[in-house]
Structure 1
């Protein structure tokens, strides 16, 4: 690696993400990862390179702390890395730093293992202290208060019970109090659908019979229905939680399609889980149910904090089961996490407008517009304009429009939205026309704006102004950019003009856009162009005067003669390519191409494909037509199946022919017995005819048996 490149990496690594004194000591590999983070701070692959390095280094120093802090500033809900950070500080016995880290991470990371680390820390610092038992009880209760309803919290409950059981009592009274406390903890644990609830119930049953033998059955009978209900919910939760990635780093939607599908799959899985929990399958009291759902929403946000779906669902739940202020705090937290996410702001504004809190909603729209960047400013302006019209009326909206169009970030979208709102909502075509005229002065060559203006004029039947706009476009806009306007020009002439004017418009468009479609003599296209013109002219919406296959063929034009690959590709798209022909993608961007990302890989087993043309009789053909279609699993070993069928001993069932009597059938059986060889009897023990066994020297059956033996080896 050259010195220049290394210098660039060092400069990139010394950005605001890492302190300069830390980044200057990075190895080349770490500098490369840090340079990747300058382009995308949520590049998890680059972060893993850095974090694996510092996590593998024994001990901790200021350099490692700076890296951990930089990582946790980007991923504040990464519980595993908070735990790594804490483990290193605990190994170094920096207990004051440990306390600070716990105060930062425990309120925002609802992770079972992180809270177990907190209990372990309390055991270390309170060991052999006078208040050890009380401190550990408080630590366990604190942990259960925050993560006790977690599906994976079984070990915490069992650790708490084991701690209470192992604690010594000074006298009989304290021993009795200890037993009552243990019973309450057991009964609290079996009221939660934990992953190991069966083990906890079994331990509770044993404990009750050991310490309260006379009353154990009655006590357990009272608790058993609660246990059964939680057991059923636990089994359902196990299914609903399949696929959840609880250790996934929270980051915005990635750019790659595979990563997008992977991450949004988590949104759908959490939606499934939360939908089930919202049904209150445990039949909890309202306050307990609210606490349980709050935990699930917060845990989901630890992973999906950049997805507005979870924030909105959480706020909606609190608005229904809690208070308005709680829902507002959730939306405020969402905006703090995603200040540039328009969807969160719009959801919050809709929430306030639904409550008829127009002042709060107006503040949201105004703050969003003032902080919006150049790309999102037009949409924010349009939504502010629409809200003002809904909340304050037409005049207030027009005043807002005057200030919006003065902004340097104002695009043609704002003019079009305002004009169409005046025309469709307020039924004022004059004001709408004036707004479009103002926009025309600012965007005289903007094709999308001109298309919107032409559509507006077409809806008003203002043909004169439409022709003026068309002529202005032909003069000022290059033909390569004016395709949508030229198409509207032809459609307009087809609708309002005579046949001669329509042909003139088509010729004008084709001369500018499609010279190959121009009808001229002594050219190869002179025969095709009139037909193409009729197809373009004589259709309405999705009604065409020819088939789709014919449209596909005629659209190729001269490319069929010059580019065979494009012709074959189009033939496949139209469904007319011969079977078995492999077609390469056409180089032209205008031709359709398959979505290769959705294709499945063909597994070739190396067997040659042989096509046989078999002649079957009428009887067999009739039988095949009567058989139902096969919809079962694919048969991989056809030869093995055929060999089993060949070696099977068929059971012969004799059906009495029509028109025969029982005596005739009996005589036929006697004749078969008489004609049969002596060493091959044809009658079974009951005297009825049976199948004739195969000869020992049947070579075909011997070969089939050998194939079966080889297959089974």
Structure 2
């Protein structure tokens, strides 16, 4: 097999990595059962491993093919599975063509050193080491492999094997010997500048090689290469720290990533991968511009490894796409998005990026065709609707109140009460359903945006017409359609937008947020009559708590533009609905403009209170977080007080005191200021709360002969600090929203 047709691989281990731990099963029924189970849930790694175990145990090659092909379709580029698959064909001359076909299929996209080593082992086995033509095939295979995977930290053994292979070559003439020495020198020059695990050993070998040829020229060569080699050794230490945090060391068997749960541990892993990828993008090896292709190849392989390991995390796929397109490889970026959507068909980020990339590609064409983009969105909606239907059905299941079945039917079998796990799952579904509906609405809104941008206003209306028929959309779609008409329809946009809002009222009149949006639109376009009619129509249909934002929005408009008699009547009505609100609160609101609240700042002293609080917090933070008395650390810098805490409601009792940093005595202040910064501490870190609990509850034996009962520990002292001012619903000048916003009390 020629080396040109194949990419690189890793040394195959003596034994196939363990695939399953259960006893082998060798029946067709078990195999079919597992296949059926995986069709229903293809994201179950353990069932996939069990399927491979059953196929391997059967010894039936067609079944092995079916199992591995199915697994590699679900988990592409899984090197451990590819290597195990190849072993069924590579050792048999009769199936050599099958092995070569699989190698050609697997290698080029693989970032696995193991798979490339498998390829080299295979090439060396089928080529005689004594034949010049065969040796040349092996040499080309090594060069091919090292070009693709030689920058990987774990490829050091491959470089060492190649050097040994070159050393073993016999030179029949002085010219051949010279060529051999030159090939070795070039190979050494390449590998000692790469952060390989054995880079120091390779450097020592290279030094001995040059010293054995010519000590004078050796010093020159070593001196020229020394800076790059030292850089590689430095980068190796940093690289090892990054890779050790990714959990890829000492893994046995087939690694299959599980769907994302975004647990705390998974979030830490995502953060470590992102840090590593950004570090690689930063060119830590300081590769020169003339060798930019080498840098791109290195980062490309790193991203390929990342999307294999982190298959179900769209953010990693998006990073790979962003970097790939940033270096001008748009076709590869498109392929990455396609592969990412195969793994994560419900990803919003990947769907939007894919649609935008397709849209951008059409903008340069004379005859634009956006059919594929429409298909992308329709397919995406189909995926989301399946999950919405599942959540709707699961969330609507009635909760079993009693375990005795139907009390009205004496013959009815008693119903088992739901378990805690079932109740927790049902609650989870009920919480996820409204969130997914909002996200689903967001997808429709982006679809409308695309249609308007690419195909005009009529296409946008057509998309909105489809959305209105969808049972899962939220009010946000109506609002987006109305505002699009208002902004983009220069003829009758205002009237059309008003009709859309009014149409939405038939479906969402019980949603205070939608009503608030509708009211805000009418006030914005100065439609006072319809705004007043809407307000009076809906304000009595909500509870006081639900109606509060609507009252606030309407009152802000009336305070600005209505006459005093109408304003006072409005305040009378609000006082009836909200009797606990202090009169000065509404009076101050009436005289506020944007964030300027002179009554709060001047008459009630909130401006001075904020300044005093800022100074107090700054002093405390400087005392606690100072570094050698020079100022607070980054983690201990003070934050400005929250102006929303202030209020004029003097009729209500004050709220509980707020915790704030303690005021240290001068002697302690001086002591704390002399302590080194906390970032310099590298010793063990204790959980202080747990430690203090242990100390408080510890029973210490008495020194006297008779044991005495130990009194319970006193409760911890509350932190000292100035109590906040007398608060109520009014939140001071800082709570005044920016233009168009709403104040909440």
TM-score normalised by the shorter chain: which range applies?
A: 0.5 to 0.7
Q: Deviations over 1:45-67 (max 9, x none)?
A: 5545666x559969775545544
Cα distance in 1 for residues equivalent to 2:333 and 2:112: 24
C-alpha distance in 1, partners of 2:584/2:547? 20
Q: State which of 139, 146, 154 in structure 2 corresponds to 1:144.
A: 146
**Which of 647, 662, 668 lines up with 1:545 in the alignment?**
647
| 1:344 and 2:446 matched | no
Task: Evaluate the alpha carbon distance shift between residue 322 and residue 505 of structure 1 in structure 2; reply closer, same or farther with a 3 A threshold.
Answer: closer
Give me the whole-angstrom Cα distance separating, in 1, the residues matched to 2:673 and 2:650.
31
Residues 191, 202 of structure 2: 8 Å contact kept:
yes
Are 1:178 and 2:180 an aligned pair? Answer: yes
1:23 Cα offset (Å): 6.7
8 Å contact kept, 2:445–2:480: yes
Corresponding position of 1:72? 72
1:367 aligns with 2:384: no
Q: Which residues of 2 match residues 58-97 of structure 1 at below 5 A? A: 61-87=61-87, 89-90=89-90, 95-97=96-98
Residues 123 and 425 (structure 1 numbering): CA distance in 2 closer, same or farther, change over 3 Å? same
**Using the alignment, how far apart are the partners of 1:200 and 1:62 within structure 2?**
45
CA contact (8 A) 2:246 2:269 kept: no
Q: How does the TM-score come out when normalised to structure 2? A: 0.59
Which of 255, 264, 267 does residue 258 from structure 1 map onto?
Answer: 264
TM-superposition CA deviations, 1:98-138 (whole Å, max 9, x none): 33332332122211112112222233333578454233223
Aligned partner (choices 499, 502, 505) of residue 434 of structure 1: 499
Q: 1:382 is matched with which residue: 420, 428, 445? A: 445
| Alpha carbons 1:190, 1:201 under 8 Å: kept | yes
Counterparts of residues 164-175 of structure 1 (less than 5 Å): 164-175=166-177
Distance 1:91 1:545 in 2: 82
- 2:421 is the alignment partner of 1:416: no
| 2:599 alignment partner in structure 1 | none
The 1:369/1:50 distance shift into structure 2, 3 A limit, reads closer
Q: Pick from 15, 23, 29: which aligns with 1:24?
A: 29
Q: Deviations over 1:638-672 (max 9, x none)?
A: xxxxxxxxxxxxxxxxxxxxxxxxxxxxxxxxxxx
1:297 aligns with 2:303: yes
**SS state of the match for residue 152, structure 1?**
helix
Equivalent-residue separation in structure 2 for 1:492 and 1:398 (angstroms):
31
* Match runs of 1:35-46 below 5 Å: 40-46=41-47
Distance 1:461 1:551 in 2: 41
CA deviations 1:190-214 (Å, max 9, x no partner) are 2433232221111011122224456
Cα deviation for residue 157 of structure 1 reads: 0.4
Q: 1:546 to 1:635 in 2, by over 3 A?
A: farther
Structural mapping, 1:171-320, within 5 Å: 171-212=173-214, 215-246=217-248, 251=257, 254-277=260-283, 280-282=286-288, 284-320=290-326
TM-score (norm 1): 0.61
The aligned counterpart of 1:118 is 119
- Structure 2 distance, partners of 1:347, 1:265, is 22
- SS across alignment from 1:255: coil
Gaps of 5+ in 2: 1-24, 386-436, 559-565, 590-594, 596-643, 687-745
Distance (whole Å) between structure 1 residues aligned to residue 59 and residue 279 of structure 2: 40
Deviation digits for residues 38-83 of structure 1, max 9, x if unmatched?
Answer: 66532335545666x5599697755455443333222112222322
**1:546-561 paired onto structure 2 within 5 Å:** none
Residues 281, 470 of structure 1: CA spacing in aligned structure 2 closer, same or farther, 3 A cutoff?
same
Aligned to 2:163: 161
Tell me if the contact between 2:260 and 2:313 (Cα under 8 Å) persists in the aligned partners: no
**Per-residue deviation, 1:407:** 6.0
TM-fit CA distance, 1:164: 1.8
The answer for the alignment partner of 1:357 in structure 2 is 363
Paired residue secondary structure (1:159): helix
- Residue matched to 1:701: none
SS of the residue corresponding to residue 153 of structure 1 reads helix
Deviation at 1:276, TM superposition (A): 1.8
By relative contact order (CA 8 Å, sep 6+), the higher-ranking structure is: 2
Stretch moving more, 150-159 or 96-105: 96-105
**Distance of 2:332 and 2:101 partners within structure 1:** 27
Aligned to 2:154, what secondary structure does the other structure show?
coil
**Aligned counterpart, 1:608:** none
CA distance in 1: counterparts of 2:522 and 2:107, whole angstroms: 62
Deviation at 1:162, TM superposition (A): 0.9
Q: Secondary structure at the match of 1:107?
A: coil
Following TM superposition, by how much is the alpha carbon of 1:532 offset from its aligned partner in structure 2, in angstroms? 5.5
How many positions carry a matched residue from both structures? 529
2: CA distance, partners of 1:489 / 1:432: 23
Question: CA distance change for structure 1 residues 504 and 430 in 2, over 3 Å: closer, same or farther?
Answer: same
Note the C-alpha offset of 1:306. Answer: 4.5
Partners of 2:666 and 2:168 in 1: CA distance: 81
Aligned residue number for residue 530 of structure 2: 465
Other-structure match for 1:565: none
Provide the rounded CA distance (Å) in 1 between the counterparts of 2:299 and 2:71: 29
1:250 Cα shift?
Answer: 6.8
Report the CA distance shift for 1:426/1:463 in structure 2 as closer, same or farther (over 3 A).
same
Aligned alpha-carbon RMSD (Å): 4.7
- 2 CA distance for matches of 1:625 and 1:332? 60
How far, CA to CA, are the matches of 2:336 and 2:668 in structure 1?
Answer: 66
Task: Name the CA distance, whole Å, in 1 between partners of 2:184 and 2:26.
Answer: 54
CA distance in 1, matches of 2:444, 2:478: 11
Matched residue SS, 2:308? helix
